[in-house]
Amino acid sequence: MRMIAAEAGISVGALYLYYGSKEELCSTVFKGLFREFRDTISERTREISDPAEQIRTYIRTYMEMARVHREFIYTFNKDKGFAFGVEWKQKFFVELRRFLNGIIRRGVENGMFADIEESEATKIVLSVLRGYVVSIVIDPDNLFTADACTDILLNGLVRRRDPGKGVELSR
Question: pTM higher than 0.85 for the full model?
Answer: no
Q: What average pLDDT does the structure give for the chain? A: 85
Range of the domain at 116: 28-168
Alpha helices in 19-145 (DSSP H): 22-45, 51-68, 70-80, 86-109, 118-138
Residue 70 lies in a domain: yes
Residue 10 lies in a domain: no
CATH of the domain at 59: 1.10.357.10
Q: Looking at 113-117, 132-136, 156-160, 166-170, which range is the least confident one?
A: 166-170
Q: How many domains does the chain have?
A: 1
Residue 41 lies in a domain: yes
